[in-house]
Structure 1
Amino acid sequence: MSVLVAASGEAAVPVDTVHRSDRPLLLAASLATLGRGRADPSHRVTADGALWRTSLMPSGPVTCRLTQLDATSVHCRAWGDGAVEFVDALPDLLGEHSAATDFAPEHPVLAEAHRRLPGLRIPRTGRVFEALVPAILEQKVHGIAARASWRRLVTAYGSPAPGPAPDGMRVPPPAQVWRRIPSWEFHRAGVDPKRSRTIVTAAVVADRLEQTVAMEPAEAAARLRAVPGVGPWTAAEVAQRALGDADALSVGDFHLAAMVGWSLLGRPLDDPGMVAYLEPLRPHRYRAIRLLEVSGQAVKPKFGPRTAVTDHRDH
């Protein structure tokens, strides 16, 4: 990986690198889970196929532009005070920390998906609080509503994206800013008091939550779940993205257990049934879920009308 380092503080001067892996790498599919909808102000795919992301690194804000060069190579250009630190962590973001060499699923659907998608990676952003806030916003509400809340709050309280970022992109605010967002602004963004309290409470202990990056999965989950309002589902959603945990299973998801059952057994499962059925796939249970989703093999019949979007601003 070759790096051209910009002078300190020169946000307009990019840091360039080409990451070359020794195994296949599917950039767009691997990082798709990091975005919260097409209008996410911190994650954007442009018409030329480039993937743009913003983040707040310990050293400062960063905007990056990622493009796939070939089957094993990705070009990264980053701007901002956090650019060098971001580039240093790029291998983790691209899933180099988590190989699937010991993943050998027996189910023919999973085996075929794994064969066809050897480049599917589990990204590791290393930014725990940034992954936690949108996960909290997604608790027990329709995804459309959660994405709208995230977009409104990051646009209002985030900072301008450094460099030539696409219009509307912002850097997610730091924990101290989330702590000071007034309750009525959460309300205007469609966030009910329970979720807003959870975000503010987590912001108070954000430094301790960031320490989970260096912990074993069980210890990290326990630390995350120590925050009132953060349960197994939310902790798993954070572990998948910030910690790159290929085994983190989102137990409690409204659709997941049924999808796994229909896709692999031709019938629905509940959460205990899903956990029991996927047990032989440890430590790759989340990897199996992503393979189903990305390969197009995920199945869940529709039996009724779509869940209504609840507007908490009227509450």
Structure 2
Amino acid sequence: MAGRYAPRPTRTTVRGGHVALPAQASRPAAGPRVRTWTPPWPLDLGLVLGPLRRGPADPTFRTTPDGSVWRASRTPAGPGTLRVAARGGSVEAEAWGPGAEWLLDRLPALLGADDDPSAFTAHHPLVAEALRRRPGLRLARTGLVLESLIPSILEQKVTTVEAYGSWRVLVRRFGEPAPGPDDRLYVMPDPRAWALIPSWEWHRANVDSKRSATVLRAVRVARRMEEAATMDPVAARQRLELIPGIGPWTSAETVQRTNGAPDAVTVGDYHLPGIVGHALAGRRDADDAEMLELLAPYAGQRHRAARLILLSGRTPPRRAPRMTPRDITSL
């Protein structure tokens, strides 16, 4: 029945060419919990869950050729792995680990059930066309702050390639293998593990002292940070920005994912103002103020409008070389 989940019998799995047996033969490992849910709209898993992925080699996120999305998360109940697949208008989900039930309970919210795109009106032909072509777009709500906040901090003032690499190194080195059958997935470190990372390991991961210090300040008040997921997005951003080193860019990037915030437009971004300016007014050199002016008709839905603009593919032609990634590990 849709919306119900239950244990599934355990299956022996093969990892790296070796049969993975239960730790105790008399007590087999628990199989996944399962849930089927039917969304009342044409769901597009890639559009909804794509923003949660931090690069093609994100150790907490994986897609498979059959269209399934796998995510490893650290929930309030403990580590959990979630596999989601869209089948014939319904969503089939499996979850493993102590956090399995928590993840399945929040499956609809993760896939956009709390989002209300009917509140959005397209005021520009380009935005209207992007909306028409992507009826399955919904804003995900993870309900987990640190898993979005920490990689957003790592992305401050560096290229995405650098930030993705740092996230990958830190999660694999200090996180833990995710529960379930996929031995390529990792759960990010818990707050204590983040706090105990030595300074030289941050350096090896190509993270400067300013960003690492911001992460450390955040994990020291992890419980207060996680509370932001239950707040109104404006209050949530205010809570996050109490931490020195977390400003409007980082708080917006976080609550877009944790709270499904439709109006949390990203300011201070290197590329976004020019993309929005070019798409809506032919002004490729627009700054934050001009971007906000152009998005003013979408008040309350500015993040959704910006996402649709990005999905339209209408970006200005490149005039300058890409930013050169920095490698602080050689310093």
TM-score by shorter chain over 0.5: yes
The 5-angstrom pairing of residues 1-315 of structure 1 reads 1-5=3-7, 12-70=30-88, 72-165=89-182, 167-268=183-284, 269-294=286-311, 296-315=312-331
2:297 match: secondary structure: helix
Q: CA deviation at 1:175?
A: 1.1
Q: Give the RMSD, CA atoms, in angstroms.
A: 1.6
Provide TM-score, normalisation by structure 2. 0.91
Q: CA deviation at 1:99?
A: 1.3
Q: Call closer, same or farther: CA 1:282–1:149 in 2, change over 3 Å.
A: same
Q: Call closer, same or farther: CA 1:10–1:208 in 2, change over 3 Å.
A: farther
Q: CA deviation at 1:24?
A: 1.9
> Are the aligned partners of 2:275 and 2:310 in contact in 1 as well (CA < 8 Å)?
no
Q: CA deviation at 1:303?
A: 0.1
Distance 2:149 2:8 in 1: 31
Q: Which has the higher contact order (CA 8 A, sep 6+)?
A: 1
Q: Is the radius of gyration larger for structure 1 or structure 2?
A: 2
Q: CA deviation at 1:163?
A: 0.8
Which ranges in structure 2 are unaligned for 5 or more consecutive residues? 10-26
Identical amino acids, percent of aligned pairs = 45
Distance 2:258 2:59 in 1: 18
Moved over 2 A (4+): 9-12
Which ranges in structure 1 are unaligned for 5 or more consecutive residues? none
Query: Which amino acid letter does the alignment assign opposite residue 198 of structure 1?
Result: T
Distance 1:297 1:304 in 2: 19
Q: Deviations over 1:187-229 (max 9, x none)?
A: 0000000000000010001100111122122211111001010
> Are the aligned partners of 2:275 and 2:315 in contact in 1 as well (CA < 8 Å)?
yes
Q: Call closer, same or farther: CA 1:120–1:11 in 2, change over 3 Å.
A: farther
Distance 2:68 2:310 in 1: 22
> Are the aligned partners of 1:5 and 1:16 in contact in 2 as well (CA < 8 Å)?
yes
Distance 1:10 1:224 in 2: 42
Distance 2:133 2:160 in 1: 29
Q: Call closer, same or farther: CA 1:10–1:256 in 2, change over 3 Å.
A: farther
Query: Which amino acid letter does the alignment assign opposite residue 104 of structure 2?
Result: V
Distance 1:310 1:189 in 2: 12
Distance 1:51 1:153 in 2: 22
> Are the aligned partners of 1:11 and 1:81 in contact in 2 as well (CA < 8 Å)?
no
Distance 2:247 2:145 in 1: 15
1:63 match: secondary structure: strand
Stretch deviating more after TM superposition (126-135 or 44-53): 44-53
1:141 match: secondary structure: coil
Provide TM-score, normalisation by structure 1. 0.95
Query: Which amino acid letter does the alignment assign opposite residue 169 of structure 1?
Result: L
> Are the aligned partners of 1:190 and 1:313 in contact in 2 as well (CA < 8 Å)?
yes
